[in-house]
Chain A
Amino acid sequence: MTNYLVSIATQGVIFAIFVLGLNVRWGWEGDLDIAYYGFIAIGAYIDAVITLPPASQRPPTEYILGLQWPFVVGALAAVLAGAVLSLLVGALALRKLRGDYFAITTLATALIMQAVISNDARIFAGYNGLYGLSQPFNSLLRLDAHVYPVFYLAFCLAVLIAVYLFLERLFWSPFGRALRSVREDETAAAAFGRNVYALKLTGYVLGGAIAGLGGALFVHFLGAFNVSAWAPVETLLLYAAIFVGGTGNNRGVILGIFLVLVFFQEVTRFLPEIPGHPDFGPAAREIMIGILILVVLRWRPQGILPEPRARDRDRSLPVGAVAGSAVTGTGAGG
């Protein structure tokens, strides 16, 4: 039972990291990225091929690198991979495309990535996928099989807290406020001298770096990773969490992902098992994700914890002196 709870909690913590990164893209920057899971996948893959032993030791799978380097290097490379991929996609797509067209482009990018990785089994072992990942730090700690998951949960939690604190600072920083002003009104932000493209691209790369980091943690949690693990639909669960928790609000989206995960964990327990129909359970789960999204969008688009509004940092100043408050003041996100 404890093992089970630790496993669920670790998954929740890792998903919370995912959702924080997506919240930078969708919540702050306002760009709908349907391909977010692709950035998690690239982090997972890169970390895996750096920490795994050479492919020649485990035929018949083939993959690049296989350096058997420590987890820390793998995780850093994953962050870098997420950032570089975001830079490539963002530099092309964010320059001209907005709204629907941007979203469609991200989806096309993810599907191209998926097609290439599935069909060319020499890069990341194709459909078979990578397996047998190491337990980070356990070559030093030598914890036994019951204790290690608790350690890994604590480690992931520490990473989550670090990411959260960083993003919370960033939220109120000039960069965070400028990014959200771009979301509210691009033209007005540009008129106030903001470089819209640079701001959006920075936010996009930041989101991708967090996704890569989450991917690295995720792949060691799962122990294996293949193409079917990151269908574009998976991104939707993260969006459901953002809408439920509160678009733009760091604390809200973390609350959202835990609520959504616990909700589905509990509800799926009461679903009937239909003999000979193994797709029924997963299908019912996806239907509920869809309904949840529609219900929240329709009746509480701002979520449980709405994005905090810009506050007067210095009360001694007269009201009019708070420069740019008309631009940085944000309405209900979404």
Chain B
Amino acid sequence: MHGFFVALGFGLVTAAILAFSAVAFSLQYGVSNHPNFAHGELLTIGAYAAYVSQTLTTNLVVGGAAAAVTGGLVAWGMNRGIVEPIVRARARSLVIFIATIGVAIIIQNSLLAAFTGTNVVYVLPQTAPHRVGPFLWTSRDELIMGAAAVTMVLLHLLLRYTKFGKALRAVADSRELARVSGIDASRVIQLTWGLAGLVAGLGGFVLAGRVGSFAPSLGFNFLLVTFAAAIVGGIGKPYGAMAGALLVGVAMETSAFYVAADYKLPIAFALLIATLLVRPEGLFTTKPRVGGGAA
């Protein structure tokens, strides 16, 4: 049983990282109605931004801020420069999806051209593992989980109590109705891309800090796990995505206790496929999402 709790502890850390990525993906998909295949690259960009900032200062806050700002700017620019023009040309939804695949390839390989495929090192300082209840965590694990909790609370406050948050939820529910009630929907969509990039960049920062060394494929390898968490939670539902992250993260790490660790990712994907087939609106919803992304 001891080993199981250690695995569960790992799972909670994975879930914390996944929460950043899944909430960001879910927000952007829910509001703009197109999944962003280049979402993984936003994490990668955040990770490299933190890595580059390391040459100036090893301050953690600076690293996190660099990751968040770079992720936010790139996501905002991606939407303005590439996605919006294709949407305006009234392309099919899938064509926009393919365009974001193109963007993903371009970003990933630009990083490959700039930083080579050799792993770079980015390590968050940490103490030796110590017991917390039944779990075994390092100070780095606690930092990651703490950062995730704070970010999720801030997002909750933003969505719940600010004018922008209200507008964002309105556009996600129905773009037409939001427009009719005087909300500048395209502005809300642009800001949401930026916000999603910000959170994803932070996710890349903590992911890099946890794995310690990474290459330009870092975020892409995390993409389907993100899809899994966001879809299990129900697209466009930030709280669902948090719950989905918890479920997928814990399922992946505790399964490694029972089957070979190489099958961690397939288990996440199997959860994804099962959810899509049985309950495509997500596990944590009572009614299907209006204006669905499944169309």
Write the residues of chain A forming the contact surface with B, with a CB cutoff of 8 angstroms: 30, 32, 34, 92-93, 96-101, 103-105, 107-109, 111-112, 115-116, 118-119, 233, 236, 239, 277, 279-280, 282-284, 286-287, 289-291, 293-294, 297-298, 301, 334
Contacts and interface: CB of A to CB of B under 8 A. Distances in A.
29 contacts: A30-B94, A96-B280, A97-B280, A100-B97, A101-B280, A103-B97, A104-B227, A105-B272, A105-B276, A108-B224, A108-B227, A109-B269, A111-B224, A111-B265, A111-B269, A115-B266, A116-B266, A119-B260, A236-B102, A279-B116, A283-B112, A286-B105, A287-B113, A290-B104, A290-B105, A290-B106, A293-B98, A293-B102, A297-B95
Contacts of A116: 266
Contacts of A109: 269, 273
Given A282-B109, A283-B109, A291-B102, 20 more contacts: A92-B277, A98-B294, A98-B295, A99-B294, A100-B35, A100-B97, A101-B231, A101-B293, A104-B231, A107-B224, A108-B227, A108-B272, A112-B266, A279-B113, A280-B113, A283-B112, A283-B113, A286-B109, A293-B99, A301-B95
B28 to A, nearest CB: 13
DSSP majority for the B interface? helix
Nearest to A97: B276
**Top 5 closest pairs, chain A to chain B, by CB:** A290-B106, A290-B105, A108-B269, A293-B102, A283-B112
Contacts of B104: 290
A280 B98 CA distance: 24
A101 B282 CA distance: 12
A233 B105 contact: yes
Nearest to B107: A290
Contact of A100 (B94, B113, B262, B272): B94
A279 B112 CA distance: 7
A32 B295 contact: no
B120 interface: no
Nearest to B106: A290
B82 A294 contact: yes
Contact of A236 (B91, B92, B105, B227): B105
A290 B224 contact: no
Contacts of A239: 98, 101
A112 B225 CA distance: 12
Contacts of B269: 108-109, 111-112
B155 to A, nearest CB: 23
B102 A294 contact: yes
B128 to A, nearest CB: 32
Contacts of A115: 262-263, 265-266
Given A290-B103, A297-B91, A112 B270 contact: yes
Interface in B117-172: 117
Contact of B93 (A34, A100, A118, A119): A100
Contacts of A294: 82, 99, 102-103, 106
B103 to A, nearest CB: 7
Interface of B: 34-35, 82, 85-86, 89, 91-95, 97-99, 101-106, 108-110, 112-113, 116-117, 224, 227-228, 231, 260, 262-263, 265-266, 269-270, 272-273, 276-277, 280, 293-295
Contacts of B231: 101, 104
Contacts of A111: 224, 265-266, 269
A293 B97 CA distance: 12
A97 B101 contact: no
Contacts of A119: 260, 262-263
B263 A334 contact: no
DSSP majority for the A interface? helix
A118 B91 CA distance: 38
A245 to B, nearest CB: 15
- Most chain A CB within 10 A, of B34, B89, B277, is at B277
B11 to A, nearest CB: 19
Contacts of B102: 236, 289-291, 293-294, 297
Nearest to A289: B105
Contact of B117 (A99, A236, A279): A279
A101 B98 contact: no
A289 B224 CA distance: 22
A111 B85 CA distance: 31
Contact of A104 (B34, B105, B113, B276): B276
B40 to A, nearest CB: 12
A320 to B, nearest CB: 29
A115 B277 CA distance: 21
Contacts of B262: 115, 118-119
B294 A287 contact: no
Contacts of A100: 34-35, 93-94, 97, 293-294
Contacts of B112: 279, 282-283, 286
Contacts of A301: 89, 91, 95
B224 to A, nearest CB: 6
Contacts of B101: 34, 236, 239, 293
- Most chain A CB within 10 A, of B105, B263, B272, is at B105
Contact of B276 (A34, A101, A118): A101
A107 B35 CA distance: 14
Contact of B99 (A99, A112, A233, A297): A297
A100 B98 CA distance: 10
Contacts of B116: 277, 279-280
Contacts of A291: 102, 106
Given A101-B293, A105-B276, A298 B85 contact: yes
Contacts of B89: 298, 301
